[in-house]
Amino acid sequence: MVTLVNLRSYWRFLVVVYQFFPLIVAYARDRRTYLLFGGSRTVTAEMQSERAEILLDSLLTLGPTFIKLGQLLSTRPDILPPQYIDVLSSLQDDVPPAPWEETKQVIEEELGPVDEVFESFDNDPISGASLGQVYTAQYDGDDVAVKVRRPGIESLVEADLRVIRWSLPFIMRFIGQGRAFSLENLADEFAKTIRQEMDYSRERRILEQIQSNFNGNGTIRIPKPVEERSGPRVLTMEYLPGTKINDLETIDMEGIDRTELATRLQRIYLQMIIDDGVFHADPHPGNLAVDEEGRIIFYDFGMSGRVDPFIQDKIVDFYVAVANQDIDGILDALVEMGTLSPEADRRVMGDVMELAIADARGEDIEQYRVQQIIEQVESTIYEFPLRLPRNLALVLRVATVVEGVCVTLDQEFDFISVATDYLREEGYYEETAKEIVADTGRQMQRTTEAMFTVPPKLDRVLDSVERENLTVNVRLEDKNNVLDKLARRIVYGLLLAVGVLSTAILYAFDQTSVVPAAVAAALTLPIIIQLYRSFRKKRGLKTTPQFTRQNMRQQRGED
């Protein structure tokens, strides 16, 4: 039975195809210059930037779901080239509010008559986004903020999610196998994320958890939720007014130390990610404010992330390795996090990391900024065997956005210095050192054991050789199917020889009739074609381009 959601999905699919049609034609022409024939064409950075602008306009036109998709894509440099990431990073989740009568219906379906559940209610929203909007009201004598899910958004999101799923097979025709895998995972992640963001009961639980993590910390304020006036589509919480964190003039007038404020903000996020494992994942200036006492206020926990203990440990290892310029340590952390393939060329990737650090640092290693390093690493993710596991992409996004806010507060802000001090104060440096000593001890133990176990084993092997009783098992790894191709060619060659010989014999014995010889020749023709095709297939190995300082200059537009 065809449901309304299905009908809406079919219609939305046509709308999406129409909106993206110029990009579809452009990508098709990249593969075949004249669509049906012709060679592939080179896509320049300027062409990618132009296409990214077209993509941005299309996402804005298609509405809430696709705006959220664009925001998520802006955190995935393993799927999109750097030019797309730069353009999509500016995507703002700011749309006109829904009519009050429609919003009022949502509130009353969730809580009851507005006049009865609140003492007063301001019908004009103080902020609006694609999935919800926020109003101010009074409850139990206190000012509260009421976040309401946008009317009718559920059916639109579900229809759009189906459209995205239907579109994946077509999109994958234009991208490589590795990115196709990442894109399919991204679609699953996006469906889960946007449904979570629409569930205000989940957001309330996140609020309460992060509040408990910062109990006793007087430098941070998180709105307290009002449970009895909240539900899956409405979230009522404490109203905390403040000055936007990027309003430098007002912050200076209030006598707040901006350097100390930036340092405190960075340390709060380090605690969320490294210590607590749950973090506010949308730290743009619209969601951060400062009160008169200099306390940092956090708004909108709809976008949040979790980090499991293993990844927390690896993030610490990564920061320590970056601070110490330990290239092997950086690569080991990336491999263990699942970001870098274990089969990657460590020499090439080591050069990437060395160039990134050398390009970003100043006279003192403590003066370079993590954002510069992340930007260089992100610019290589699209070209190298790097992948971003779920939520690690959010961690990267948070790291860069937070530092952008911190640099706005203090142009000389030093992320690595703050992170290093935090890790030392929390004892992570000592823990890392203990782990290294323990690993060294275990390695020495294994080496010592080998000194006693290897000689007897070697002696037994030599005895087997002397008795001519040594058997060696050899396993060949043939990832490119070279042996299979060789076997096929040998078989085709033998069949061809038999076919040619049979044709010659039949023709020689019965020259009065060429039919038998013609039949034999006809049977031999497909074999000739198959043998010819086996030699026409592309040979050689696919190689990864070397990353050089010249590549970095080209990406920055330098000579």
pLDDT in tens, 241-254: 999 998 999 999 99
Q: What percent of the chain has pLDDT over 90?
A: 26
Span 118-124, average pLDDT:
94
Identify which of 197-211, 318-332, 373-387, 507-521 has the greatest average pLDDT. Answer: 197-211
Task: Supply 234's token pair.
Answer: 């409405």
Range with top average pLDDT, 231-240, 299-308, 415-424: 231-240
User: Do 166 and 6 contact (CB within 8 A), yes or no?
Assistant: no
Is 229 strand, coil or helix? helix
Residue 33 has pLDDT above 90, yes or no: no
Q: Would you state the pLDDT for residue 368? A: 45
SS3 content of the chain, % helix, strand, coil (to 5): 60, 10, 30
pLDDT the model gives residue 143:
95
3-state DSSP assignment of residue 488:
helix
Q: Are the CB atoms for 377 and 321 separated by under 8 Å?
A: no
Q: Which residues are catalytic?
A: 282
The whole-number average pLDDT for the span 298-304 is 89
CA dihedral 391, 397, 401, 404 (to 10 degrees): 140
Read off the pLDDT of each residue in 264-283 and give the average, rounded to a whole number: 92
How sure is the predictor about 121, in pLDDT bands with cuts at 50, 70 and 90? very high
The pairing of strands 296-298 and 220-221 is: parallel
**Mean pLDDT, range 420-436, rounded to an integer:** 71
Give the model's pLDDT for residue 264.
Answer: 95
Most confident by average pLDDT, 23-32, 57-66, 212-221, 518-527 = 212-221
- pLDDT bin (cut points 50, 70, 90) of residue 130 is confident
Residue whose structure tokens are 């323990």:
438
Burial 495-504 (b: 16+ CB within 10 A, else e): beeebeebbe
Q: What is the pLDDT of residue 380?
A: 55
Residue ranges of the domains in the chain? 1-93+155-196, 241-451, 482-533
Reference 290, options 125, 205, 134, 405; nearest CA is 405
Is residue 261 scored above 90 in pLDDT? yes
- Region 328-349: mean pLDDT is 78
Mean pLDDT for the chain overall: 77
pLDDT band at 98 (very low <50, low <70, confident <90, very high): confident
